Structure 1
């Protein structure tokens, strides 16, 4: 579904992504981990079409991508952001937030699609005419996921989707994302700094440091400590000393 080859991204004279290559199979969930400033979110924004200053080769869904994307791209590829409050328009009702992508992409049966989208993310229909500030953080992130899903994409890009939430709510959102991927056969790419989160949701993980992807490892090997790069071992050691979400 996704192939990156020698992706390079610079801001001014500073190169922040330095020749990163990886592929993600159709229906796979791929994670990118690294410390702040490692370049992981910058890669995700380039995949989403939000960063046009890149070079290299990018193929999504069998189509070579350029720095400018066609309208149909934004139906096939959707992104869920870290801050569920900042990503939702504060003066729009949930109904209008969910209706907007349907109108943009020319969907019919808007009323039913909105009702179905709320049900898919386990939100009551009563939230439909509320505003984002009237919802909890977990409910807002469920709305953000519903908005991403409502245009029937093939790929979801997840930018630290649980880091702004309480630990108990993190587990709920991760389980929801796992169920949705299995039901809809979606392809995920998620960036995070949390190894417990990434090993729960993703089967393969790329480890970033200083703009480079220094190791590709399976979730099972990362859990077991079967890693080769010192930075991966260091990240794993640090994660063992932190309080992590209990995920069923």
Structure 2
């Protein structure tokens, strides 16, 4: 479903992503993990079409894409951001936030789709005509996930989707994302600094350091301590709760 080959991204004279390559089969989740500044979110932004200053090759569902994307791409690929409060329009109701993608993509049956998608992310119908500030952080992130889902994409790009949430809510959102991937047969690329979060959702993991992918390994090998690169082993040592995932 996703094929990234020798991706490079520069900001001015500084190269921040240095020849990263990975592939994600349809229906699977691939995790990108690393410290702040490692380049993982920059990879995701290039993949999503939010950053056009890249070179290399990106293909989605067998079709190569360039820096500028057509509307059909955004029907197929959607992104969930780290901060749900910052990514939702503060002066729009949840109904408007969810209806807008349907209007943009020319999809009908708005009433049914909005109601069904709210139910799918386990939000009560009562939130539909509220504003983002009237919801909890976990509810706002569920709205952000619903917005990404409502146009029925095939790929979700997840940029630290739980890091802005209380610890008690993080597991609920991760379990929701896992259930949605199975039910809808979605393909995920998940970016996080938290190895336990990535291992919970993803079968394979790429470890970023200084703009390079220094290791790619399975979640099973990560949990078992079979990492090869010193940085992966260091991240694993610092990760809390990895063995329980």
Q: TM-score under structure 1 normalisation?
A: 0.97
Partners of 1:59 and 1:72 in 2: how far apart? 14
The reply to whether residue 111 of structure 1 matches residue 116 of structure 2 is: no
Q: Judging changes above 3 Å, is the alpha-carbon distance between structure 1 residues 22 and 88 closer, same or farther for their aligned structure 2 residues?
A: same
Instruction: Trace 1:28-177 onto structure 2 (pairs within 5 A).
Output: 28-177=28-177
SS of the aligned residue for 1:85 comes to helix
Partner residue, 1:14: 14
Partners of 2:166 and 2:95 in 1: how far apart? 25
The reply to whether residue 226 of structure 1 matches residue 229 of structure 2 is: no
Superposed CA deviations along residues 85-109 of structure 1, whole A, max 9, x for unmatched, are 0000000000000000000000110
SS of the aligned residue for 2:156 comes to strand
Q: Judging changes above 3 Å, is the alpha-carbon distance between structure 1 residues 179 and 139 closer, same or farther for their aligned structure 2 residues?
A: same
Superposed CA deviations along residues 8-44 of structure 1, whole A, max 9, x for unmatched, are 0000000000000010000010000000000000000
Contact 2:223 2:242 in 1 (8 A): no
Partners of 1:239 and 1:246 in 2: how far apart? 9
SS of the aligned residue for 2:45 comes to helix
Partners of 1:212 and 1:247 in 2: how far apart? 28
Contact 2:223 2:243 in 1 (8 A): no
Q: Which runs of 5+ in 1 are unaligned?
A: none
Partners of 2:242 and 2:200 in 1: how far apart? 10
Paired residues in the alignment total 245
Q: 1:169 deviation in Å?
A: 0.3
Contact 1:39 1:208 in 2 (8 A): yes
4+ runs deviating over 6 angstroms: 245-248
Contact 1:17 1:42 in 2 (8 A): yes
Partners of 1:114 and 1:21 in 2: how far apart? 37
Q: 1:246 deviation in Å?
A: 11
Contact 1:171 1:246 in 2 (8 A): no
Contact 1:170 1:245 in 2 (8 A): no
SS of the aligned residue for 1:175 comes to helix
Q: 1:247 deviation in Å?
A: 8.0
SS of the aligned residue for 1:78 comes to strand
Partners of 1:11 and 1:203 in 2: how far apart? 31
CA RMSD of aligned residues (A): 1.3
Q: 1:168 deviation in Å?
A: 1.1
Q: Judging changes above 3 Å, is the alpha-carbon distance between structure 1 residues 246 and 126 closer, same or farther for their aligned structure 2 residues?
A: farther
